[in-house]
Amino acid sequence: MARIKANTESRQRQIVEAARKIIATRGMEALTIREIAKEVGISDGDIYRHFRSKKDILLLLIEDIERTLLGAVDRAASEKREPIESLENVLSAHLSYAEQRRGLSLIIIGETLRLADKDLRKRMFEVVNRYLARIQELLAQGVRSGQVRPDIDLGAAALTFFALVHATVTLWPLNDSSFSLAKRHEPLWKSYLAGIAVRDMKS
């Protein structure tokens, strides 16, 4: 029984990864059950043994993105660093991960939010809002510890943090991935820090 479950989970993972690849390379319009099956090397019927519909595949893909986004924040927060250091680590982790995965997660977020399917859009909005709430909490901790300016709008600062990562990763392939995302971490962080930190934190 355990072996059957493992095989099922392995096949589901293959299917989800195929969907991720298709979206990243050809866009959401190209994502069909037939194209996913072709990418995995199985029949359409094999797809339906594991998922009822394309929508279910996308929902599992969104769950995977949620683990990635929130996991980076949670790991940074659990290492008992100062809030500012945790935020910098989140930025670094996301840029490094995006470079390893060719920016797929953020591409998929953008593609999903443009879909007509209200359930998928709602689910992705939930993921992004949960991410923003975690970033906002780190910023609030920074205010309480005296590292972050108390006069800033925490919601706007969290959104700016997300937009900073998203814009950098989006522009990356347009430049033929000619620069290292991980190496962009330091100048991006310094710019962001200059806007949120109390005067003696800016450096």
Cβ contact 27:104 at 8 Å: no
Whole-structure pTM over 0.85, yes or no?
A: no
Please name the amino acid found at residue 181: L
For all residues of the chain together, what is the average pLDDT?
Answer: 84
Sign of CA dihedral 84, 193, 195, 74: negative
Q: pLDDT exceeding 70 applies to what percent of the chain?
A: 88
Cβ contact 116:139 at 8 Å: no
Enumerate domains of the chain plus CATH numbers. Answer: 1-51 (1.10.10.60), 54-201 (1.10.357.10)
Using the 8-state DSSP alphabet, how is residue 1 labeled? -
**Chain centroid to CA 130: how far?**
11
**What pLDDT digit, counting tens, does each position of 137-159 carry?**
999 999 999 999 999 999 999 99
Interior CA angle at 87 toward 83 and 88, to 5°? Answer: 120
